[in-house]
Amino acid sequence: MFRRIGTVMLAFATLALLLAVAFARTDTPRLEPEALKPQQRPAAVFDHDAHNEKAKLENCAVCHHDAKDGKIVPEGSSEGTPCADCHAKAATKGTHLVNAYHRQCMNCHKTSGKGPTSCGGCHVRD
């Protein structure tokens, strides 16, 4: 009898945990640029506003730099323009799209000593 109650309670606890995990995951926005589909890895976790608030990033141009004639223009910004508009997936000149994401995300995490730098830290499995 007690063993059966224990089993039922364990089943409920497991269900609650599974539901919590399922909801937490579907709530987390990820980067899924059209240009990189179909992605080999689980799409990188990036909750735009929450990330930037936590990281205290107020200057949009830190990530959304503007450019002219193939060079970054420090005084401008390009929020609203997808990275892929300037960084082609198969670019042979300059920074191609995957490198653009990797360099921007990882360089800051490395220099600040905060944020994930291992593959699974950003490409979080479901």
Locate 63 and state its tokens. Answer: 């990530």
User: Is the separation of the CB atoms in 97 and 82 below 8 Å?
Assistant: no
Whether residue 48 is annotated as binding a ligand: the answer is yes
Which element (helix H / strand E) includes 57? none
Nearer to ligand HEC, 25 or 52 (CB): 52
Binding site for ligand HEC (CB under 6 A): 31, 33, 36, 39-41, 43-46, 48, 50-52, 54-55, 57, 60, 62-67, 70-72, 78-87, 94-95, 98, 100-106, 108-109, 112, 114-119, 121-123
Kindly compute the dihedral angle of the four CA atoms of residues 12, 18, 20, 23, in this order, to the nearest 10 degrees.
-140
Nearer to ligand HEC, 25 or 67 (CB): 67
